[in-house]
């Protein structure tokens, strides 16, 4: 391992950890209905929250003008509004801090000459992070005019951009650290396919959060007493718009992933501890998925079980990326990312 790259690898993995925190804050924001509490996008001035009664009154009056308050939250008091405002403000603040956490070390390492061969990819990551932030506002804007919540489709795009950013940060961080590889070509394709299917599952998880679809079927193992609920095709764009159908697809994908990952665990003996980490996460995620479903009708339970479920899902993605990195076994310099995971900035 090139010792000059060790700080770079640690920095990228630290940013990845900060991205996980940001995603969890986003989950809390959604499940507490906080996402529309700040109705303006002020990248600089928005750092400072309201500091006196007059400023709070202005912020609350702006929230009172949107459909969510008028149709669903008209009972909200100013003190209750301050709670949901905090989560959205903190989510945005953490996003700004993430930008500094990436940009400042990037400049320092660039000037130190540690980034040869990595500059283009790192600038691509910076662009992806910026796009993810812009998508956050595009998502919020969807709930300010006609909808009472943000669009669950835009929420899913916002979330999956963060998941992609996380995966790339982990891949490049491990590459910079020169993590050992086993050159197990037979595992590369199945691990890649599992990451792809897990990405679809995470997308449907975002749909579940956006629609709060756990509430439509808080039972297990059946869905409200049925294995295949009736009326699945009645929602118009049923598999991504109708809460019951989204719930059904999310469960079905989960069962398929458990079986596939169980086979992968048996097949990936050469990977040692990584495969056991994946198995533990699969078991934990399955248990949390069931608990999130059956506990969702109890006050406060959907929030914390849902956020824990999201955390383990992201951890499973990271573990599979680490497994793919180990199985790739490239003989090229450690800083060279796998072709399938390279991120090149547009011209």
Helices (H) and strands (E) in the chain, counts: 11, 0
If phi > 0 it is left, if psi is from -120 to 50 it is alpha, else beta; for residue 66 that is beta
Q: Which of 318, 168, 166, 316 is nearest to 254 (CA)?
A: 316
Structure tokens at 113: 């000459």
pLDDT at 143: 87
- Cis before 266? omega within 30: no
pLDDT tens per residue, the chain (347 residues)?
567 889 999 999 999 999 999 999 999 999 999 999 999 888 887 899 999 999 999 999 999 999 999 999 999 999 999 999 999 999 999 999 999 999 999 999 999 999 988 999 999 999 999 999 999 999 999 888 888 888 999 999 999 999 999 999 999 999 999 876 666 678 899 999 999 999 999 999 999 999 999 999 999 999 999 998 877 765 555 688 889 999 999 999 999 999 999 999 999 988 888 899 999 999 999 999 999 999 988 878 889 999 999 999 999 999 999 999 988 864 333 343 443 434 333 33
Give SS3 for 336. coil
Structure tokens at 256: 């398929």
Q: Which of 331, 326, 193 is nearest to 270 (CA)?
A: 326
Rg (CA), the chain: 21
Q: Which of 123, 136, 147 is nearest to 67 (CA)?
A: 147
Give SS3 for 236. coil
Question: Has this prediction a pTM greater than 0.95?
Answer: no
Give the side-chain half-sphere CA count within 13 A for 125: 27
Between the two ends of the chain, the Cα-to-Cα distance in Å is: 31
Residue corresponding to tokens 């790192």: 122
Question: How far apart, in Å, are the Cα atoms of 9 and each of 12, 104, 106, 109, 327?
Answer: 5, 15, 12, 11, 19
Q: Which of 313, 338, 344 is nearest to 174 (CA)?
A: 338
- What is the Cα–Cα distance from 313 to 197, expressed in whole angstroms? 12
Task: Return the domain boundaries, the chain.
Answer: 1-178, 181-342
Question: How far apart, in Å, are the Cα atoms of 75 and each of 70, 84, 147, 162, 189?
Answer: 9, 14, 18, 34, 53
């Amino acid at each position: 391992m090139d010792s000059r790259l060790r700080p770079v690898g640690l920095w990228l993995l630290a940013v990845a950890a900060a991205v996980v925190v940001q995603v969890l804050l986003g989950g809390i924001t959604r499940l507490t209905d906080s996402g529309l509490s700040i109705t303006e996008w002020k990248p600089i001035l928005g750092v400072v929250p309201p500091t006196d009664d007059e400023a709070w009154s202005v912020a609350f009056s702006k929230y009172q003008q949107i459909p969510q308050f008028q149709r669903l939250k008209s009972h909200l008091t100013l003190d209750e509004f301050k709670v949901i405002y905090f989560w959205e403000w903190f989510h945005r603040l953490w996003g700004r801090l993430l930008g500094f956490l990436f940009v400042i070390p990037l400049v320092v390492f660039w000037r130190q000459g540690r980034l040869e061969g990595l500059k283009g990819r790192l600038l691509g990551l910076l662009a992806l992070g910026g796009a993810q932030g812009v998508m956050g506002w595009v998502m919020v804007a969807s709930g300010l005019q006609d909808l009472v919540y943000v669009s669950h489709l835009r929420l899913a795009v916002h979330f999956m951009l963060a998941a992609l950013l996380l995966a790339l940060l982990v891949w490049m961080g491990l590459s910079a650290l020169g993590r050992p590889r086993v050159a197990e070509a037979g595992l590369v394709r199945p691990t890649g396919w599992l990451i792809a299917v897990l990405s679809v599952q995470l997308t449907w998880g975002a749909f579940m959060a956006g629609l709060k679809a756990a509430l439509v079927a808080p039972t297990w193992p059946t869905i409200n007493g049925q294995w295949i609920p009736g009326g699945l095709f009645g929602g118009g764009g049923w598999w991504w718009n109708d809460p019951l159908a989204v719930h059904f697809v999310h469960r079905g994908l989960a069962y398929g992933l458990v079986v596939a990952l169980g086979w992968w665990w048996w097949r990936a003996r050469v990977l040692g501890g990584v495969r056991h980490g994946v198995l533990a996460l699969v078991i934990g995620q399955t248990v949390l998925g069931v608990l999130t479903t059956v506990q969702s009708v109890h006050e406060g339970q959907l929030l914390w079980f849902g956020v824990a479920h999201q955390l383990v899902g992201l951890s499973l993605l990271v573990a599979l990326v680490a497994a793919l990195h180990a199985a790739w076994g490239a003989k090229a310099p450690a800083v060279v990312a796998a072709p399938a995971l390279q991120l090149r900035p547009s011209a």
